[in-house]
Structure 1
Amino acid sequence: MILSSILSDGMVLQRNEKVGIWGKAGAGQAIQIGFNGKKYDTFADPAGDWRIDLDETEPGGPFEMIISAGGEASVIRNILVGDVWVLGGQSNMELPVRRTLDLLADEVKDVHLPWIRQFSMPISYNFHAPQSDLPGGGWIAATSEDVLNFSAAGFFFAKEIYERHQVPVGLILTAVGGTPIEAWISEGSLRRIGGYEDILEQCKDDQYVIAAKAADEERSNAWHAHLNNTDLGLKEGWYNESWDTADWQDFELPGSWADAGLEHVRGSVWFRKEIELPESMTEGDARLKLGTVVDADDTYINGVCIDNTGYRYPPRRYSIPAGLLKPGNNTITVRVISTHNTGAFVKDMPYRLLACGQEMDLTGVWKYRVGAITGVMQQQTFFHYKPAGVYNGMISPLRHYRIKGALWYQGEANTDHPAGYSKLFEALVADWRGQWGIGEFPFIFTQLANLGEEDDSQSNWAELREEQRKGLQIPGTAMAVTIDIGEYNDLHPQDKKTVGQRLALGAHKLAYGKDGLVHSGPMFKEMELTGDGARLRFDHTGSGLVAKGGGELKGFAVCGPDGVFVPARAVISGDTVLVTHDFIKQPVQVRYAWANNPAQANLYNREGLPASPFSTG
């Protein structure tokens, strides 16, 4: 008898619904299930497939389930019955709690919430057909160390749901960093939308996929081998504690390689700093916070490599082995590897040594020397990014597992080409609802956070946010606005607590019948031209519109017939906003928070929820 890996110890079953249990056995074998004092039975079909639907069950647990077939019995232990939510998307949904500890360590310290569980889907893709079998995975509970492996957004969402409704919460994490939305949509829907036919056919060629992956691996291995073989720092041992840096140059950390005229260097650059430590900082636990490094790093203390990271996004938070630090002079050496980006120690990140309750600031002048110069490393193919692949491999296998609803946190990978995202999102929601076949279950999604410098003129993120806002036209959806909780210098902002809380507001409204709840910030509804400007009306104004922090509204712009947008005055008038400009009396279009990082935007409702960016055109 074979059971899906999701039907395993610690699972959470959907309450108050007929829940399917399925598997494979010998053709015609009798199958029996014992659960919650009831007995169920069926027979496997000629292909060995079987399914039993359990009666509706009230929330609670833990329970045991015994499944028998042909004299073989399997016992599934520690089962809870509650609400099950699917977590889909890319890296900001996948981002684990352990990546948020700079901000949220106190929130998860000594967590013991065994009624919150998570099942993580291993990365799997298929370009031929929707799959039935799960590639593995297991359930964990939100206790002690395991909570650090939860999706951070998912955990804080589940915590809100559990605390308000006192029912177990199961999360199914099926998210993959870097994936565009097309990867999570069915082949049929993509063909109806059009434009994906060639890549869909190409990826069906197994020999092409195998050859491309082999070429990727060979190219990567060759690039790194060339780098390591030519890196003078490795050959001479620049990481050694006693290495003389008298002929090295100065570098102000944090900063970009461009600041030192190294913007065209691809390869390795070595950085060193000597620090003086008191004895009181050498006798206990120690940790190095090295901000974020572009692209990769090997980090040494006193000649010993303490850790490394192979790509640009994770924050460098390295534990220092006991006994490595010593009173007096210590040396920190960082070998920074640039594969295809201009290298950098990202600004406005923590660069500190923490030991025995004390801190040492590591910013300022370091020494640097180029170790090796290579060509740009060509990027991998990343087949899990390709259209329909993870839909077939990571969504389709879940279709028999009954759920309450879905959360979606994705969009960053589509910002280069935002046009048409709303159409793709509509197809995705329809595909997922079609897979589970339980009607228009709640689908709650996150709008892109703020990112980049405030004065950056780019607006592709704003354009994609507008496409996301259009998704609210789909019945049974809600959107969490996050333009106020991002980090200008980090694609993966750490405040996933607020994200989870705002997603939970949408769930309270859609899934739990809290009709009087204000679950959203103001959403643009319509524009009316007045004698001297435009009056904007909004949904979800709650108990009133406010300018957060007081003062004037910011973030509004208007254009006339020439299509050139200029900043405009905006004032709150009841539940509307009146937008005016001295020289544009009849605006053609109004925009709000229309920037990659609309840091000045401050329209909220009194419940503290931000207005969504929008364009009236």
Structure 2
Amino acid sequence: MLKLAALFGDNAVLQRDRAVPVWGWCAPFRRVRATLGDGSAETRSGADGKFLLRFPPMPSAVRLTLQVTELESGETATAQNIALGEVWLASGQSNMEFKVSSLADGGAELRRRADAGELDAVRMLTVPRNALLTPARDVDAAWQTASAATIDDWSAVALFFAKKLADELAVPVGVLASSWGGTIAEAWTSGETLARNPDIARAYSEYLLRTGSTEYWDSLSPEELEIPMRNFETALFTHLPPEPENSGFSAGWAESAYDDSNWDRTALPAQWKEFDLNTNGTVWFRRKVEIPAEWAGRELILTLGAVDKHDITYFDGVEVGRTGSGYDTSCWDVCRVYRIPSELVRPGLRVIAVRDYSFAYDGGLTGPASGMKLAPADAEREKISIAGEWSYKIETDLGPAFPHLSGMGLCCPNSFSILFDNMIRPLVPAALRGVIWYQGESNAIRFHQYERLMRDLIADWRFHFAQGDIPFLQVLLAGYRTAMDYDPNSEWAPIREAQSRAAAATGNLVASAVDAGDAADIHPKDKQTVGERLAAAALMQAYGGKEEGSGPVFRSQTRSGDALLLSFDHAAGGLIAPDGRPHGFWIAGNDRVFKPAEAVIAGVKVAVSSPQVPEPVAVRYGWSDNPRSADLRNSAGLPALPFRTDKFDDGENE
């Protein structure tokens, strides 16, 4: 009957130099004694049989044995090969969940290093996905040591992070990896904290009442009620029909000459539900485009934006790209970028046709509008927008896949507090050094709320883990979508600003991934840069390292003639740019119209000016979804965080 929580099984890493909580379950009201190396601890189980004991702080060590004994019965639980080192919690959405096997080389180099023993100091426990409405008591997971046979499914960011720490600190590093792609911050925040957020409290209360009603549970099918704790998405999808035959292509729906005058019309980007398609199956979208004469015979780049879930895309009846297969849920928000061969490009009216297949939840061409365009591969500025009115027709109507699970509730990972309850709460109160967090893409459309959400989430986790203000290191979202020097309508620039403000307000550093992105892929494959920048931040914030752990962070501006002089934190060693003059700066006067700016480094400051703005009041830097030209760095080579010095969008100016 004696059982230890999953965190304390074989190969576990426990936090050195801090009191170490260890818990589990036995008969009620029994004395429980434990030993770990030279340390010992004792407690008594409660009425529910749970016990929690704490070892005193101990230094780094390896190959220890943890033994826990229930004294009355003599029953013993033992865990071998325990290490005392550094423990970090890695969480967020798909870019933190991104597996080693998904790296550009399929993980081959990391597997080689694992076989060579170079990753022996790193261990990981991956929390399985779980989105049930009853909070989990424990997680069905085990610690793994690094080997070619184990690391394929590990978080790549977390592995690169842990490897860098292990090398620098010369101690074992363990990661508790708890992530889920496509999830919102509200799902990772406790209900107690959500109830205090005025933006969310009412909706949270209504959600609790709805999911606690007899009507809600009576509405669920037997299949929905049989969802197991693990792999419940797989269990759900086994009840779905296979992807329908592509009958639309056989009917000529991809051809330019096809008459779609009797099809319905809708404005894109949009989710299906936004134009009353509350179903699943396949929907075709068509749009005519006028190809200029000067484009004839030139390769084109077609950017659709995101398509929820899978697509097959045609130009003039010829397939030019497809994304997704089976019941893959990882590509619902991936921007589609397809090349149209030069031999297909002829002047006149041509048709783009997209077959959108969604087997669950919602579907649609979801944009953003700025990312829906057609342009010559060698002259992107000649782009034609393809946002706006499209024709559409349902090819196969499968009906709602999970009519009761499509919204917040059972098995929906984007339900209020559900991932905190199932994937974080069971880890509390583990001894940690800190948290690394890569999330925000799913909250980008509501960026105005994100600073408050993240400040609350950070305080929430610090409270529950009860170890003071442990470091909580966020990743600034990677560059994505079309590279632009400046975009006043950017969604990701303000979400990055919210991330930075939340970090500043809570005393944390961030790691910028802005320059490590991929215009065509929301899941860029350069996870080593991200992981190692998180490690640099950790070494500075958590361990007092003297090496710089952050890129330059805007602090203040002063007027100097017709220029604005900007000061930065994390720039003590000086500022640099590839050609000595940093790019990515835009400047505005009282008319609030931003113009490209000249920037000159002056030691630890940057002077920004433009002949078009003789009386400047504000500067923006790296202000777009994918500001590839932004290249200001500090002497450690870390990129400056994007920023704005104004509050124009908030109806005021600083």
Judge same fold: TM > 0.5, yes or no. Answer: yes
Partner of 1:529: 559
Report how far residue 420 of structure 1 moved: 2.7
| Contact 2:127–2:177, Cα closer than 8 Å, also in 1 | yes
Pick closer, same or farther for the CA change 1:210–1:152 going to 2, 3 Å.
farther
Report how far residue 598 of structure 1 moved: 0.5
Partner of 2:469: 440
Report how far residue 90 of structure 1 moved: 1.0
1:501 pairs, out of 532, 541, 546, with: 532
Report how far residue 174 of structure 1 moved: 1.5
SS of the residue 1:572 aligns to: strand
Report how far residue 297 of structure 1 moved: 7.9
| Contact 1:231–1:372, Cα closer than 8 Å, also in 2 | no
Listed one character per residue, the Cα deviations across residues 261-292 of structure 1 (whole Å, up to 9, x for unaligned) are x99997289xxxxxxxxxxxxxxxxxxxxxx9
In the aligned structure 2, how far is the partner of 1:52 from the partner of 1:556?
55
| Contact 1:408–1:445, Cα closer than 8 Å, also in 2 | yes
Listed one character per residue, the Cα deviations across residues 176-208 of structure 1 (whole Å, up to 9, x for unaligned) are 111111112222322222132343234322356
Q: How does 1:408-423 map to 2 (within 5 A)?
A: 408-423=437-452
Partner of 1:374: 396
In the aligned structure 2, how far is the partner of 1:127 from the partner of 1:39?
37
Report how far residue 28 of structure 1 moved: 2.5
Q: How does 1:165-244 map to 2 (within 5 A)?
A: 165-204=169-208, 205-207=211-213, 210=217, 214=221, 225=241, 228=244, 231-232=246-247
Listed one character per residue, the Cα deviations across residues 306-354 of structure 1 (whole Å, up to 9, x for unaligned) are 98452452999xxxxxxxxxxxxxxxxxx9762234599x99xxxxxxx
In the aligned structure 1, how far is the partner of 2:98 from the partner of 2:69?
38
1:469 pairs, out of 472, 494, 500, with: 500
Pick closer, same or farther for the CA change 1:212–1:594 going to 2, 3 Å.
farther
Structure 2 residue 88 is matched with structure 1 residue 80:
no
Structure 2 residue 547 is matched with structure 1 residue 517:
yes
In the aligned structure 2, how far is the partner of 1:215 from the partner of 1:23?
33
Structure 2 residue 167 is matched with structure 1 residue 156:
no
| Contact 1:532–1:585, Cα closer than 8 Å, also in 2 | yes
1:89 pairs, out of 89, 92, 103, with: 92
Partner of 1:388: 417
Listed one character per residue, the Cα deviations across residues 423-460 of structure 1 (whole Å, up to 9, x for unaligned) are 21111111111001111111111111110012484411
Report how far residue 104 of structure 1 moved: 5.7
Q: Which blocks of at least 5 consecutive residues in structure 2 are unaligned?
A: 226-235, 257-267, 273-280, 285-305, 313-323, 335-353, 374-391, 647-654
Partner of 2:56: 55
Listed one character per residue, the Cα deviations across residues 208-258 of structure 1 (whole Å, up to 9, x for unaligned) are 66467659979x989964963x6559xxxx9xxxxxx9x99899xxxxxxx
| Contact 1:67–1:73, Cα closer than 8 Å, also in 2 | yes
| Contact 2:307–2:356, Cα closer than 8 Å, also in 1 | no
Partner of 1:561: 590
Listed one character per residue, the Cα deviations across residues 68-109 of structure 1 (whole Å, up to 9, x for unaligned) are 222322111121111100112111111111111437632442
The answer to which of 19-28 and 607-616 deviates more is 19-28
| Contact 2:199–2:449, Cα closer than 8 Å, also in 1 | no
Report how far residue 477 of structure 1 moved: 1.1
In the aligned structure 2, how far is the partner of 1:307 from the partner of 1:186?
35
SS of the residue 1:114 aligns to: coil
In the aligned structure 1, how far is the partner of 2:55 from the partner of 2:571?
43
1:197 corresponds to which letter in structure 2? A
Q: How does 1:176-325 map to 2 (within 5 A)?
A: 176-204=180-208, 205-207=211-213, 210=217, 214=221, 225=241, 228=244, 231-232=246-247, 267=282, 295-296=309-310, 308=326, 310-311=328-329, 313=331
| Contact 2:3–2:77, Cα closer than 8 Å, also in 1 | no
Task: Report the count of equivalent residues.
Answer: 522
2:357 pairs, out of 338, 342, 346, with: 338
Identical counterparts, % of pairs: 29
| Contact 1:87–1:175, Cα closer than 8 Å, also in 2 | yes
| Contact 1:297–1:310, Cα closer than 8 Å, also in 2 | no
SS of the residue 1:520 aligns to: coil
The answer to which of 516-525 and 40-49 deviates more is 40-49
In the aligned structure 2, how far is the partner of 1:198 from the partner of 1:250?
49
In the aligned structure 1, how far is the partner of 2:178 from the partner of 2:153?
14
Pick closer, same or farther for the CA change 1:227–1:449 going to 2, 3 Å.
closer
SS of the residue 1:428 aligns to: helix
Listed one character per residue, the Cα deviations across residues 397-432 of structure 1 (whole Å, up to 9, x for unaligned) are 212211111111111011101013112111111111
Partner of 1:546: 576
In the aligned structure 2, how far is the partner of 1:405 from the partner of 1:148?
24
Pick closer, same or farther for the CA change 1:215–1:425 going to 2, 3 Å.
farther
1:612 corresponds to which letter in structure 2? L
Pick closer, same or farther for the CA change 1:566–1:307 going to 2, 3 Å.
closer
Report how far residue 47 of structure 1 moved: 3.6
Q: How does 1:587-598 map to 2 (within 5 A)?
A: 587-598=616-627
Report how far residue 487 of structure 1 moved: 0.4
SS of the residue 1:118 aligns to: strand
2:615 corresponds to which letter in structure 1? Q
Report how far residue 39 of structure 1 moved: 4.5
Report how far residue 520 of structure 1 moved: 1.2
What is the RMSD computed on CA atoms of the aligned residues? Answer: 3.8
In the aligned structure 2, how far is the partner of 1:342 from the partner of 1:375?
17
In the aligned structure 2, how far is the partner of 1:210 from the partner of 1:546?
60
In the aligned structure 1, how far is the partner of 2:34 from the partner of 2:562?
72
Q: Which blocks of at least 5 consecutive residues in structure 1 are unaligned?
A: 239-244, 252-261, 270-291, 299-305, 317-334, 348-369
1:138 corresponds to which letter in structure 2? A
| Contact 1:534–1:586, Cα closer than 8 Å, also in 2 | no
Report how far residue 38 of structure 1 moved: 4.6
In the aligned structure 2, how far is the partner of 1:563 from the partner of 1:217?
53
Structure 2 residue 601 is matched with structure 1 residue 572:
yes
Partner of 2:31: 30
Listed one character per residue, the Cα deviations across residues 500-556 of structure 1 (whole Å, up to 9, x for unaligned) are 100001111112121x211111111101012112111111114221223x1642211
SS of the residue 2:18 aligns to: coil
Pick closer, same or farther for the CA change 1:377–1:142 going to 2, 3 Å.
farther
Pick closer, same or farther for the CA change 1:144–1:610 going to 2, 3 Å.
same
